[in-house]
């Protein structure tokens, strides 16, 4: 497993708490896919997570963003997008 950076740890914890996942945030591999065979998230999870990210970091994720699939591809990609675009 790849080690998590501090922002990845923070986002992993938000993921676990928001989606009530039955895994520890510490064991989420930052390069593992969030959807499908990875963590197994679905589109409803994406909506809930986007809302939590908006409230926590002030970053508005929009489905119309051409990079949305890349942003949600892994914990690392999501954390990097949040770090670049956060307002809080």
- For each of the domains in the chain, give its residue range(s) and CATH number, in order of start: 6-85 (1.10.1200.10)
pLDDT score of 87: 95
Asked if 2 contacts 75 with a C-beta cutoff of 8 angstroms, the reply is no
The predicted-structure confidence for 28-62, as pLDDT tens digits, reads as follows 999 999 998 889 999 999 999 999 999 999 999 99
pLDDT of residue 1: 73
pLDDT grade for 2, boundaries at 50, 70 and 90: confident
CB contact at 8 A, 59 and 82:
yes
The average pLDDT across 62-74 equals 94
pTM for this structure?
A: 0.93
Residue 33 φ then ψ, to 5°: -60, 145
Q: Does the structure show a pLDDT above 80 at 66?
A: yes
Q: What is the mean pLDDT of the chain?
A: 95
């Amino acid at each position: 497993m790849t080690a998590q950076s501090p922002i990845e740890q923070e986002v992993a914890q938000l993921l676990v708490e928001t989606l009530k996942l039955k895994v520890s945030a510490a064991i989420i591999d930052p390069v593992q896919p969030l959807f499908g065979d990875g963590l197994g998230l679905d589109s409803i999870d994406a909506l809930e997570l986007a809302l939590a990210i908006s409230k926590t970091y002030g970053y508005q994720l929009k489905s119309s963003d051409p990079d949305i699939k890349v942003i949600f591809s892994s914990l690392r990609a999501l954390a990097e997008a949040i770090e670049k675009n956060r307002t809080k």
